[in-house]
Amino acid sequence: MATYANFARFYDQIMGDRSEEVERIRGYIKRYLPGAGSLLELGCGTGALLGPLAGDMPVTGVDRSAEMLAIAAKQAPTARLVESDMTAFSLGTRFDVVICFFDTLNHLPRFDLWHELFRRVREHLVEGGLFLFDVNTTGRLRGLCRGTGYVEDFGEHTLVMTFAAAPGEVTIWDTRIFERLDGDLHRLHREVTPELAVPLAMIRASLDPDFELLDEADIDGGTVSDEVERVYFAYRHRGGSGG
């Protein structure tokens, strides 16, 4: 999994405004668990979601990147931040809501690791608690591999991304940031990130024994399928010990 050690200070500039995701999370909570009093984010990164959500309830974030968490500590100063692998952590407490956004799940390059993350979610959610997450679909990831990548300027710097198919439905994201230093002088930062494509039916089947599907939505509000760009899920923990 990517640690974004070199990208941490550029990450928020590249990602831009995240208020739409914050409001989506708030909407799910208002609809399905209006009395929620605690929230855990897996792969919290720079705290772009935790910062605003900390005004609603106590929040905790888990991420394996010390560099990202250092920024999160400034953006979400009241949050509890834990440096750990999101597939192998134990906080000794349960939360009303667990979230995992920005295709963080896809960053786990094997489906057995998805199962491990789902186990951690079961262990850390109260009975009836919400699990909210999104994924890049198989259609989107395959489509990226057929494309030519893209180039984008942000501030004085330039982002270049290309995509390549790897065995096992994995897409390799090759991300390069050319940091402008002075005039035509640049410093290169590079991160190679795998993203695993998992059919939606497999995700649903993996969660079905212990979670109730409340909502699934295409990013554009259309019909959910493996060919749309991104899918958002809202699940309720059924309770029990889980598997």
Q: How far, in Å, CA of 192 to CA of 83, rounded?
A: 21
What is the percent of the chain where pLDDT is above 70?
97
What's the rounded mean pLDDT across residues 22-36? 97
Q: How far, in Å, CA of 47 to CA of 31, rounded?
A: 24
On average, the pLDDT of the chain sits at 94
* pLDDT at 1 (0 to 100): 52
Contact 207, 237 (CB under 8 A): no
Contact 50, 21 (CB under 8 A): no
Identify the weakest region by mean pLDDT among 2-6, 62-66, 96-100, 230-234.
Answer: 2-6
pLDDT digits (tens, 9 = 90+) for 204-215: 999 999 999 999
Provide the pLDDT confidence category of residue 140 given band limits of 50, 70 and 90.
Answer: very high
Phi, psi of 213 (to 5 degrees): -75, 120
- pTM for this entry: 0.95
Identify the weakest region by mean pLDDT among 2-6, 22-26, 42-46, 84-88.
Answer: 2-6
The class level of CATH for 139-196 reads mainly beta
Residue with tokens 């929040």: 59
Which residues face 59 on adjacent strands? Answer: 39
pLDDT digits (tens, 9 = 90+) for 192-241: 999 999 999 999 999 999 999 999 999 888 899 999 999 999 999 997 54
> Residue ranges per domain, the chain?
8-137+199-237, 139-196
* pLDDT at 2 (0 to 100): 56
Provide the pLDDT confidence category of residue 7 given band limits of 50, 70 and 90.
Answer: confident
Going from the C-alpha of 219 to that of each of 20, 198, 203, 231, the distances in angstroms are: 11, 17, 17, 6
Q: How far, in Å, CA of 39 to CA of 176, rounded?
A: 33
Q: Give yes or no for residue 243 having a pLDDT over 50.
A: no
* pLDDT at 118 (0 to 100): 98
Phi, psi of 135 (to 5 degrees): -140, 150
Q: If we measure between CA atoms, which residue out of 40, 36, 192, 159 comes closest to residue 101?
A: 40
What CATH fold (topology level) applies to the domain 8-137+199-237? Rossmann fold (3.40.50)
131 token code pair: 């699990």
What's the rounded mean pLDDT across residues 11-18? 88
Phi, psi of 132 (to 5 degrees): -120, 130
| Neighbour count for residue 227 (Cβ, 10 Å) | 13
* pLDDT at 146 (0 to 100): 95
pLDDT digits (tens, 9 = 90+) for 72-118: 999 999 999 999 999 999 999 999 999 999 999 999 999 999 999 99
Using DSSP's 3-state secondary structure scheme, residue 151 falls into: strand
Q: Give yes or no for residue 3 having a pLDDT over 50.
A: yes
* pLDDT at 240 (0 to 100): 54
87 token code pair: 């597939």
Q: Which residues, at least 6 apart from 105, have a Cβ–Cβ distance to it below 8 Å?
A: 114, 117, 133, 134, 135
Task: Encode 41-83 in three state secondary structure.
Answer: EECCCCCCCHHHHCCCCCEEEEECCHHHHHHHHHHCCCCEEEE
Q: If we measure between CA atoms, which residue out of 26, 25, 33, 99 comes closest to residue 62?
A: 99
